[in-house]
Structure 1
Amino acid sequence: MLVVFGIIALALILFVTEWLPIDVTAILIMVLLMVLGADGVVNFTEISTAEGTSGFSNSATITVLAMLILSSGISQTGVVQIIGRKMSAFAGEDLDKQLLATIGVSGPISGFINNTPVVAILVPVVSDIAHKGKTSPSKLLIPLSYASMFGGMLTLIGTSTNILASDVSARLGAEYPELHAFSMFEFTKLGVIVLLVGSLYLMTVGHRLLPERVPVDEDYVTEYDIEEYLTEVIVDEESPIVGSTVADAIDRVAFDADILQVVRDGEEFIEPIGQKTIRAGDTLRLRADRPTVQQLVERETLTIDGGPETDAELEPDEIPDRTLVEVVVPRGSFLVGESLETSTFRQRYDATVLAFRSRGETVRSDMDERRIRVGDTLLVQAAPDSIDRLSQNDDFIVAHEPEEPDYRTEKIPHAAAIMAGVVGFVAVPWGAVGTTLAGLTGVGAFEAMSALSLPILVTALAGVVAMVATGVLKPTEIYDAVEWDVIFLLAGIIPLGIALEQTGGADLLGTLVAATGTYLPALGVLWVFYLATGLITGVISNNASVVLMLPVAVETADQIGANPFAFVLAVTFAASTAFLTPVGYQTNLFVYGPGGYKFTDFVRVGAPLQLLLSVVTVLGIDFFWGL
């Protein structure tokens, strides 16, 4: 038990500090459990090799994998973006309508498409709604993330957390008869209440608590405060860089500087300019701080000639499309864990990073060595065709919709029918249908339907096959659609939950928490579990908190004589509605940078919401399922 607690403590430290990527941390957990398990060096954790690797074959892991592919198929059709644009036209410049459009699209859709890709799809749509509606994106992006969490609680497939919780509940059902796997609409009635109450809060109170971190009338140059890092220099005839290419002109090892543009005879050249030869009299627009510019002037015989102060001066008049965009780094991107220097980002996309935001900090200098993390937002300058390539790559979320998006709109009916089938075949009560038909017709064959059960795992995998067969997805896109770090995370933490149960750790923790039942009624203990899960999810991941908290919650319910299924639901809802920090839930990371938020903004808006929904959810569980 102590060994398992030690592994949990190590996992928590690694999750919080991010010393290792979360998927690597999950693999480390798996290895430790097996090395210290039944087939390892010593039998401390009681985990066999088969149990240690069981996370890979677990139905929850495979179901989440399939749902990620299905969500990608929906996004390829552009249906979410099309709905978003229609809502943008409805919203106009009215903030209330903009909020209604944002919440009204992201909430319901997230009930049927995994909420993480929904937010990834809608970040550029909502950013454009804010830009066109003369509203700060700070007022809309946190509501977008929170609304997707509300919507994720509408159905079993709304979020990977629900699927994982369902699997854990089914496994624990072998010991506790009250527990079972969730049906498709098991908790939809409570999810609708959470969606309505949460939306009302965001529409009335929440947006008033959000500051305008990105002022409406500010451009990127002002927003990222990079004026002093942008300088124009003129190349003298005696300069040693005359005749050099732009790529070779500045030694990046010696100088933290980039040539953004070359201006020659009134014509402005933007990326790709790496192979353009520098001539005497050229004006070079640089990204560099003042000391670096001074060193270049002294060493390279350059003359300072002011600097661009707005986006317009960095975007040539001859190119109508934008050349400055924000790019969010999602999970699974090749940039995660890399630096700009080691990732060859510039070379791949002929793009220059002017600055980037990381966990609320704006980085403007010495960027090449900084390790890039999930949720970081890069301010990128590139030619329009390079920006189009970035927007079409799943490694990035470009916070601006492309002018001519490449969607498979002709496949919308196919994708919609497939998702309806995935949901419908799970939701249909085949047993009741078979019994009814057998009674009406007297045909005994219908009685066989009573034994028919199509789990979400089967329908989701069938949906993947149908997506490829109908051309909604190309075969090669299947693997790109999967967030492999999420899959490895699930595979690693599932055996940790098993070890917590087998060693008696869950029973011990449940006994300790059950002691609060001496002072609190069962409803109060349930509320404590909701709050505790919400706090834990804020510092680790939602999936990890479910695996760790569910066995303890069930043991606690058993100790105080309460309904264990009620405790399972409380933990599930709390883990899927993590509002307090930007790092506990991936959708919060997606909006962190584009909204210009600080860490405290999530606490300011999320803490009252977490308390409000804790009361609503706990009372709803008691009303619908009883304690």
Structure 2
Amino acid sequence: MNPQLIWVLTLLAVAVALFAANRPRMDVVAVLVMVILPLSGVIDVQDALAGFSDPSVVLIAALFVIGEGLVRTGVAFRLGGWLARRAGSSETRLLVLLMLAAAGLGSVMSSTGVVAIFIPVVLSIASRLRVSPRRLMMPLSVAGLISGMLTLVATAPNLVVHSELRRAGYDGLGFFSLTPFGLAILLLGVVYMLLTRRWLSSPPAGADALRSRRTLLDLVRDYHLAGRERRLRVRDDSPLIGRPLQELHLRTLHGANVVGIERQYRFGREVLSPGASTEIKAGDVLLLDVFAPLEDPHALCERLGLDPRRLRGSFFTDQSREVGMAEVTLPPDSTLIGKTLLELAFRSQYGLNVIGLRREREPLQDNLVEERLRFADTLLVIGPWKAIRQLQTQQRDFLVLSLPAEIDEVAPAASQAPFALLALGLMVVLMIGGWVPNVLAALIACLAMGAFRCLDMDSAYRSIHWQSLILIVGMLPFALALQKTGGIELAVQALVGLVGDAGPYAILASLFTLTALIGLFVSNTATAVLMAPVAIATAEQIGASPYPFALTVALASSAAFMTPVSSPVNTLVLGPGQYRFGDFVKVGVPFTLLVMVVTVLMVPWLFPL
């Protein structure tokens, strides 16, 4: 083992440890790798930055945009509505249709996005059927992961394996190369979840009982908001007149937050969403959330020139036509984690106020603006319904868990749904026909969605998960470094020496196991980047076709069923499903073993060794 290889393996071990700890973020680690490898002389700068010109990276970015178009046009939400109608009152039918729908939609868009779309749908249906969300959320995550096994473009690891085959001089994978295996595993998954759902029947101690769809009053009760509301009219002699909210410092000085302003116009009244620059006018009625006790409310009103006004509903529920509430949670890659609401300028950026925060199912009573946000925190936001709907399109930072019964979900570009489906169909046809490269087919679909106004440029750029792209770009130099320093050859020799005498089936099983185990600690994309060259080189070493080995790595990369941190898909359902770590181990480990058996038996059958 030469010194350069020792250095690369050491750097790889450090990167894996940082990935597992998620400190710093994975994309930051990837950028560090791109810097350190050429500085140490292992590879040159051109090799370190080669990932930026890789067609697979551009294709993945385009697929994020296409998925956003399906969300904005309401295609995904309409699928959820169809699911609710078809399921009727049958839990079994619901589970089967849910898994089929999630897997089908996930075959052409991000599985994380699909699960995020279906979570509020499942919560609503579960409440209506009086079924525990625990019995449905894990089947949803399983189907989301299996969707990555259905088509070439379903998940990034498939495209990484495809790219590695072409880089090694072989033909890449076809659009439906993985489909037979994915369909078999999906059928196995549906049957498995029908048989094992009873393991998920009992909620953990202290879990909320099932109930019907929540209302604004439910949210007021759950977040202990009752009694915090104030409705105050600005008198003509008030010192607040003409001053913007940011100069009043109501939060810090008086423990109050302006969540709305009733303003009278010539032809009617309007409830405004306040911003930092909103100026107070005489006659305005301020809707206040007082989260800290006032020392002397009467004296304060006199000093600020405010008159109390009658409240007609608990915490402004009488304003529900203009002002709404929603619960949102923070997904694992949210950029808000670790920051305070004050640092984020939350109201200015999103047009909403955060009036409640629940952590580990308990509402926090302290000053929320100074509380640092954590993963899985549940925020209660209040503001215009339009701004709340806008959060549904920002799935990188927020996951809208539930909307109260006072609102019907409306997609911002619902009328363009047929054109979104047309663009999606065009991409699939072009990929299947092979008339243009896959990346061009996806870019054509993106242009079509833009031309038909299914999405605008701002939403297109926001939809791209840059962290995933940078992770792929940063990990590709590792594969090149391992090849140049002999690391791939060393791994192949170790694998063949360990199980080579047992035959190619044993090697396939070992590859699957190793890939799945690495996937417990790093992302499935990074796992595929590391394992695809090993798989192809192993096939060449024993004189076999590289396709069974490459496909095994692709399938194993999506088999992240074993822990809640194996994939963002699992992490998303952890809170809504009220799961514990052991629930995933209990259900996921046996299913992963079943998937390995199916893979090892089917892959050599359809792609001979």
Give the TM-score, by structure 1 length. Answer: 0.78
Quote the residue 1:335 is aligned against: 336
Contact 2:519 2:557 (8 Å CA) reproduced? yes
Structure 1 stretch displaced more, 153-162 or 199-208? 199-208
CA distance in 2, matches of 1:482, 1:421: 21
1:151 deviates by 1.9
Contact 2:72 2:393 (8 Å CA) reproduced? no
Contact 1:232 1:283 (8 Å CA) reproduced? no
1:14 deviates by 1.8
Counterpart AA for 1:159: T
Alpha carbons of structure 1 residues 26 and 368: separation in structure 2 relative to 1, 3 Å: farther
CA distance in 2, matches of 1:113, 1:228: 35
> Is the partner of 2:356 in helix, strand or coil?
strand
Counterpart AA for 1:577: A
1:3 deviates by 1.5
Counterpart AA for 1:217: R
Match of 2:565 among 564, 583, 590: 583
1:379-414 CA-partner distances (Å, limit 9, x unpaired)? 435564542343354543312365150343433332
1:61 deviates by 0.4
CA distance in 1, matches of 2:565, 2:291: 30
CA distance in 2, matches of 1:129, 1:408: 24
Quote the residue 1:423 is aligned against: 428
Alpha carbons of structure 1 residues 373 and 220: separation in structure 2 relative to 1, 3 Å: farther
CA distance in 1, matches of 2:451, 2:398: 27
Q: Does 1:11 align with 2:11?
A: no
Contact 1:414 1:472 (8 Å CA) reproduced? yes
1:59-115 CA-partner distances (Å, limit 9, x unpaired)? 110111111112222222211211210111222343223212321211112112232
Structure 1 stretch displaced more, 576-585 or 345-354? 345-354
CA distance in 2, matches of 1:351, 1:528: 52
1:170-209 counterparts in 2 under 5 A? Answer: 170-171=166-167, 173-174=168-169, 179-206=170-197, 208-209=199-200
CA distance in 2, matches of 1:261, 1:410: 32
Counterpart AA for 1:194: I
1:533 deviates by 1.6
Counterpart AA for 2:19: F
Quote the residue 1:35 is aligned against: 39
Contact 2:489 2:537 (8 Å CA) reproduced? yes
1:542 deviates by 1.0
1:53-64 counterparts in 2 under 5 A? Answer: 53-64=49-60
Contact 1:67 1:460 (8 Å CA) reproduced? yes
CA distance in 2, matches of 1:529, 1:605: 22
Quote the residue 1:266 is aligned against: none
CA distance in 2, matches of 1:559, 1:361: 57
Quote the residue 2:107 is aligned against: 111
Contact 1:214 1:595 (8 Å CA) reproduced? no
CA distance in 1, matches of 2:115, 2:228: 42
Alpha carbons of structure 1 residues 59 and 247: separation in structure 2 relative to 1, 3 Å: closer
1:194 deviates by 0.9
Counterpart AA for 1:352: V
Quote the residue 2:265 is aligned against: none
1:1-59 CA-partner distances (Å, limit 9, x unpaired)? 111112212211221212222222211111111211xxxxxx2x2x1111111111111
Quote the residue 1:129 is aligned against: 125
Quote the residue 1:215 is aligned against: 209
Alpha carbons of structure 1 residues 385 and 418: separation in structure 2 relative to 1, 3 Å: closer
Counterpart AA for 1:388: R
Structure 1 stretch displaced more, 405-414 or 322-331? 322-331
> Is the partner of 1:112 in helix, strand or coil?
coil
Contact 1:355 1:378 (8 Å CA) reproduced? yes
1:504-554 CA-partner distances (Å, limit 9, x unpaired)? 112212222223216744322322221222222122111011111222233
Quote the residue 2:346 is aligned against: 345
> Is the partner of 1:378 in helix, strand or coil?
strand
> Is the partner of 1:539 in helix, strand or coil?
coil
> Is the partner of 1:538 in helix, strand or coil?
coil
Contact 2:357 2:377 (8 Å CA) reproduced? no
Match of 2:402 among 394, 400, 403: 400
Alpha carbons of structure 1 residues 249 and 612: separation in structure 2 relative to 1, 3 Å: farther
CA distance in 2, matches of 1:337, 1:202: 36
Contact 1:517 1:560 (8 Å CA) reproduced? no
CA distance in 1, matches of 2:215, 2:578: 11
> Is the partner of 2:447 in helix, strand or coil?
helix
1:144 deviates by 1.6
Give the TM-score, by structure 2 length. Answer: 0.80
Match of 1:597 among 579, 593, 597: 579
Quote the residue 1:497 is aligned against: 479
Structure 1 alignment gaps of length 5 or more = 37-42, 236-241, 263-268, 303-311, 430-452
CA distance in 2, matches of 1:473, 1:581: 35
CA distance in 2, matches of 1:467, 1:95: 36
Contact 1:161 1:543 (8 Å CA) reproduced? yes
Contact 2:535 2:550 (8 Å CA) reproduced? yes
CA distance in 1, matches of 2:479, 2:362: 35
1:92-103 counterparts in 2 under 5 A? Answer: 92-103=88-99
Quote the residue 1:378 is aligned against: 379
> Is the partner of 1:607 in helix, strand or coil?
helix
Contact 1:331 1:483 (8 Å CA) reproduced? no
Alpha carbons of structure 1 residues 16 and 551: separation in structure 2 relative to 1, 3 Å: same
CA distance in 1, matches of 2:119, 2:367: 28
Identity %, equivalent residues = 29
CA distance in 2, matches of 1:365, 1:16: 32
Contact 2:145 2:558 (8 Å CA) reproduced? yes
Quote the residue 2:48 is aligned against: 52
Counterpart AA for 2:472: L
Quote the residue 1:569 is aligned against: 551
Structure 2 alignment gaps of length 5 or more = 231-237, 261-270, 301-312
Quote the residue 1:306 is aligned against: none
1:447-462 counterparts in 2 under 5 A? Answer: 454-462=436-444
1:157 deviates by 0.9
Contact 1:377 1:594 (8 Å CA) reproduced? no
1:353-368 counterparts in 2 under 5 A? Answer: 353-357=355-359, 368=369
Contact 1:119 1:587 (8 Å CA) reproduced? yes
> Is the partner of 1:136 in helix, strand or coil?
coil
1:215 deviates by 3.0
Quote the residue 1:443 is aligned against: none
CA distance in 2, matches of 1:139, 1:315: 35
CA distance in 2, matches of 1:357, 1:562: 53
Match of 1:79 among 75, 80, 97: 75
CA distance in 1, matches of 2:411, 2:151: 30
1:406-432 CA-partner distances (Å, limit 9, x unpaired)? 343433332222222222222126xxx
CA distance in 2, matches of 1:120, 1:507: 41
